[in-house]
Structure 1
Amino acid sequence: MTLHGREGQDAPRTCDAKDLLSGAKDNDTLYAGASDDFALGGIGQDHLNGEAGDDRLLGGKGHDDLD
């Protein structure tokens, strides 16, 4: 699982329980706030940035890059 810090930074961050409980899977790329995106329906290998959970509710699909 690739976890990044605040959006726009390359430094990885440690996976936390909130991400895993929200449905994050191996090979997901997570950015700041991404656990909220997963709770809203993000799936494996989606690249979710910023407020992408809103995009997900509006019909984003797997493997989309959502900004």
Structure 2
Amino acid sequence: MFQGGTTRSFSSLYAGLSYVSKFFLLSWSHLLHRIYEENIAMEHLSARALGHLRGNSRLRLKQDSFA
């Protein structure tokens, strides 16, 4: 009888640890996905800002050549 109770408590402990580990795994994967999305967004904004800077310098060069 003691053996069955011990097995039952170990299986419930394993189930609890499995649930907790799945929760942390999902939380970490969600967090890493958010960081990845924000990194992509920042790269996009940087590329747009760089494009605007390049566009302004080209415009400035054209204006200087006509002056």
Give the helix-richer structure, 1 or 2.
2
TM-score range, shorter chain: under 0.3
Higher relative contact order (CA 8 A, sep 6+): 1
TM-score by length of 2: 0.20
**Larger of the two Rg values belongs to structure:** 2
